[in-house]
Structure 1
Amino acid sequence: MKKTIYLANPYGFSEQQKELLLPPITEKLKSLGAEVWEPFERNNQQDFSKPGWAYIIAQADLNDVRNCDAIFAIVNGTPPDEGVMVELGVAIALNKEVFLFRDDFRRCTDSENYPLNLMIFAGLPQKGWEDYYYKSVEEIDSKHKALYKWLLEDSEIT
């Protein structure tokens, strides 16, 4: 059975970002055998002229975070997107597997250890957190990183 990854990202707000930035990330995750739940693709088919559309989308996204196996959160920006941060917080509270992606070189932190607010790393282990943190699309399928090991742990046993 495929593990599901919720791809928390702000890229769906821009057609150019959705077309250029999302596909390489989604393809890498799928190449590892994951089922990728991309929220704009799954939950944005609403009539934005009708009242209540925002609540419907928010609840659908929240439901996907509840039901996924892991979250792969794109945390670019200073600060990162608010919606991604809420989704990440929910995933951490639900003890989901957490993987972070940031190819943005800017730092926005007071911590000498982390490149972002320390709470963003609360769902990662204290030691070895770097294995759950991805700085490039090329790193996503690295055999030395946590995502590869997590996705393939069951398949290697059988």
Structure 2
Amino acid sequence: MMHNETNLRPMVYIAGPLFSEAERSYNLYLKHLLEESVEVYLPQEDGLLITDLLDSGMSVEQASSVVFKNDINAIHRCDFLLILLDGRAVDEGAAVELGYAHCLNKLCISLQTDFRRLAPFGNNPMITGAIGRSFTRTEDLISWIKERSPSNDVARQRQHL
């Protein structure tokens, strides 16, 4: 894994829905699990929320532009992107973030614990085509990331001393 410019640990950008309380709670849970191994950029926590910007007096157009640019900058800084695919349909914003990260040649991985779209047709090929690795269980995702984290490399090196 590559490293972002400001930290030795890789940074993951979590792309997913963040509009309901349940979605935000799960995103925070996942961020907490991932932070043991990598830096995490979670837009609902680390970015700007359009509702906050509107409350501050910005117009819808200004607020939308600020959120877009902020999240695009974060995608540039990340080492890889994790898209959350649970739900009836893929979140539109997450789909754009995935496509953007893919065009930047970032590693894109997915987590889909919701089996509704896994059969018979599956997800849209424009989504699956951008994903390098997919997971259906949170535990498998966390294990995969831990195996590749620099801190795990240090632990392996110490075992060989």
Instruction: Answer yes or no: same fold by TM over 0.5.
Output: yes
Question: What is the root-mean-square deviation in Å for CA atoms of aligned residues?
Answer: 2.3
Deviation at 1:119, TM superposition (A): 2.0
1:51-104 superposed Cα distances (whole Å, 9 cap, x missing partner): 111110111001111111000110123320000000000011101011101111
> For the residues of structure 2 that align with 1:96 and 1:154, how far apart are their CA atoms?
21
Secondary structure (helix, strand or coil) at the match of 1:47 reads: helix
Question: Rg: which structure is higher?
Answer: 2
Calculate the TM-score normalised by the size of structure 1: 0.78
1:1-158 equivalences in 2 (<5 Å): 1-11=8-18, 13-19=19-25, 21-31=26-36, 33-44=37-48, 46-48=52-54, 49-51=57-59, 52-107=62-117, 111=121, 115-125=122-132, 132-142=133-143, 145=144, 147-152=145-150, 155=154, 156=156
Secondary structure (helix, strand or coil) at the match of 1:36 reads: strand
> For the residues of structure 1 that align with 2:99 and 2:89, how far apart are their CA atoms?
15
> For the residues of structure 2 that align with 1:157 and 1:5, how far apart are their CA atoms?
24
Change (3 A) 1:157 1:103: same
Change (3 A) 1:136 1:79: same
The number of residue pairs the alignment matches comes to 143
Give unmatched runs, 5+ long, in structure 1: 126-131
